[in-house]
Amino acid sequence: MSFGKLFPRRDFIVKILCIAAGMLAGGLTRPFFRTIQAQNRTDGSTIAVITGKSLSRDSITSMVESGFRQIGGIDRFIKKGMKVVIKPNIAWNSTPDKAHNTNPDLVEAVARMCVRRGASVTIFDRTVNSARLTYRRSGILQAAQNAGASIEYVDSGRYKDVRVPDGVYVDSLPVYSGILDADFVINMPIAKHHSSSRLTLAMKNLMGVIGGNRGYYHGDIHSSIVDFAKTVKSDLVILDAIRILTAHGPNGGTPADVKELHTIVMGTNPVTVDAFAATLFNIQPASLRFLKIAAREGMGEINIDKMKILRAAV
Amino acid sequence: MKHRRWFYIRAAVQVCCWFAFITLVVSTRDPIEDGYLYGLFPRLSLHLGIATSIAARAVLAAFLPGLAVLALSLAFGRFFCSTVCPLGATIDASDKIIARRKGALKPEIARAGRGIKYIVLVVSLILALAGVQAAGIIDPLSLSLRVYSTVVYPFFDHLAKLAFDGLLPIPGLGAAVGPLYGFLTDTVLDFNPIVFHNAGAVMLLLILILLLSLWARRFWCRYLCPLGALLALAGGFGMLRRTVDALKCVNCLRCERDCRMGAIHDRGLATIHGECVQCFECLKSCEHDAISFHAVSPFASGRADATAAESSSITAVPERPAISRRALIAGTAASLALIPGFRLNAARRADFSEIIRPPGSLPEHEFLDACIRCGACMKACPTNALHPSFLESGLEGVYTPRLIPRIGWCEKNCVLCTEVCPTGAIKKLRMGDKETTVIGTAYFLKDLCIPWAEGRECVVCEEVCPTLTKSIKFREETVPNKKGGSVRVKLPYVLEDICIGCGICENKCPVRGSAAIRVRTRKAEVPSAG
> A104 near A139, Cβ under 8 Å?
yes
To which H or E segment does residue B241 belong? strand B240-244
* Contact (CB<8Å) B413/A214: no
Question: Could you write out the DSSP letters of every residue in A163-181?
Answer: EPTT-SS-SEEEEEHHHHT
Interface of B with A (CB under 8 A): 30-31, 165, 191, 382-383, 411-414, 450, 456-460, 462-470, 474, 490, 504, 508-511
What is the pLDDT, as a whole number, of residue B511? 94
Chain B residue numbers with beta carbons less than 8 Å from the beta carbon of A219 are 450, 456-458
C-alpha torsion B353→B359→B362→B364, nearest 10: -10
Best of B434, B463, B475, B499 to disrupt the A interface (most A CBs within 10 Å) is B463
Higher pLDDT, B106 or A289: A289
To which H or E segment does residue A85 belong? strand A83-88
What is the pLDDT, as a whole number, of residue A151? 96
Q: Is residue A40 very low, low, confident or very high in pLDDT (cuts 50, 70, 90)?
A: very low
What is the pLDDT, as a whole number, of residue B55? 95
Which residues lie across from B474 on neighbouring strands? B492
| A246 reaches B (C-beta below 8 A) | no
* Contact (CB<8Å) A194/B463: yes
What is the pLDDT, as a whole number, of residue B307? 42
Distance CA B56, CA B50 (A): 10
pLDDT 10s digits, A42-71: 578 999 999 999 999 999 999 999 999 999
* Contact (CB<8Å) B458/A215: yes
What is the pLDDT, as a whole number, of residue B313? 38
CB contacts < 8 A, A to B, total: 85
| Chain B residue with the nearest C-alpha to that of A129 | B411
The secondary structure of residue B361, as a DSSP letter, is B
Distance CA B121, CA B132 (A): 14
* Contact (CB<8Å) B458/A219: yes
Average pLDDT score, chain A = 90
| A250 reaches B (C-beta below 8 A) | yes
Least Cα separation, residue A251 to chain B (angstroms): 6
- Within chain A, where are the H helices? 3-6, 9-41, 57-70, 104-116, 131-137, 140-147, 177-180, 202-205, 214-218, 221-231, 270-280, 289-296
Question: Could you write out the DSSP letters of every residue in B161-223?
Answer: HHHHHHHTTSTTHHHHHHHHHHHHHHHTS-SS----TTHHHHHHHHHHHHHGGGTSTTHIIII
Blockwise average pLDDT, block size 10, chain B, 530 residues: 87 98 95 90 97 94 95 94 97 85 74 90 95 95 98 96 90 89 90 92 95 91 96 90 91 92 89 92 93 81 46 43 77 90 75 82 91 97 96 89 97 95 95 92 96 92 95 93 86 95 96 94 53
Which residues lie across from A185 on neighbouring strands? A85
* Contact (CB<8Å) B460/A215: yes
What is the pLDDT, as a whole number, of residue B108? 80
Higher pLDDT, B335 or A38: B335
For residue B137, give the 3-state DSSP assignment. helix
The secondary structure of residue B224, as a DSSP letter, is I
Distance CA B326, CA B530 (A): 32
| Chain A residue with the nearest C-alpha to that of B504 | A129
What is the pLDDT, as a whole number, of residue A22? 64
Residue B413's CB is within 10 A of a number of other CB atoms, namely 19
* Contact (CB<8Å) A128/B383: no
For residue B330, give the nearest of B47, B110, B48, B115 by alpha carbon: B115
For residue B206, give the nearest of B291, B86, B286, B302 by alpha carbon: B86
| Chain B residue with the nearest C-alpha to that of A215 | B510
Chain B residue numbers with beta carbons less than 8 Å from the beta carbon of A211 are none
| Chain A residue with the nearest C-alpha to that of B32 | A133
Please report, for residues B56, B121, B222, B258, B298, the alpha-carbon distance to residue B273 in angstroms, rounded to integers and kept in the order given. Answer: 33, 19, 12, 16, 10
Beta strand pairing call for A159-163 and A150-151: unpaired
* Contact (CB<8Å) B456/A219: yes
> B360 near B428, Cβ under 8 Å?
yes
For residue B490, give the 3-state DSSP assignment. strand
What is the pLDDT, as a whole number, of residue A175? 97
Chain A residue numbers with beta carbons less than 8 Å from the beta carbon of B498 are none
Q: Please classify residue B7 by burial: count the beta carbons closer than 10 Å to its beta carbon, then call 0-12 exposed, 13-18 middle and 19+ buried.
A: middle
To which H or E segment does residue B154 belong? helix B153-167
What is the pLDDT, as a whole number, of residue B317? 45
Q: Please classify residue B323 by burial: count the beta carbons closer than 10 Å to its beta carbon, then call 0-12 exposed, 13-18 middle and 19+ buried.
A: middle
| A72 reaches B (C-beta below 8 A) | no
**Residue A31 pLDDT > 60, yes or no?**
no
What is the pLDDT, as a whole number, of residue B322? 62
* Contact (CB<8Å) A131/B509: no
What is the pLDDT, as a whole number, of residue A186? 98
pLDDT 10s digits, A4-17: 555 566 676 676 67
What is the pLDDT, as a whole number, of residue B101? 66
What is the pLDDT, as a whole number, of residue A28? 55
> A133 near B30, Cβ under 8 Å?
yes
> B170 near B115, Cβ under 8 Å?
no
The secondary structure of residue B356, as a DSSP letter, is P
What is the pLDDT, as a whole number, of residue B420? 96
Question: Which residue among A92, A213, A221 sits closest to B510, beta carbon to beta carbon?
Answer: A213
**Residue A204 pLDDT > 70, yes or no?**
yes
Best of A94, A100, A101, A133 to disrupt the B interface (most B CBs within 10 Å) is A133
For residue A137, give the 3-state DSSP assignment. helix
Best of B413, B450, B490 to disrupt the A interface (most A CBs within 10 Å) is B413
Please report, for residues A125, A131, A251, B391, the alpha-carbon distance to residue A134 in angstroms, rounded to integers and kept in the order given. Answer: 10, 5, 12, 35
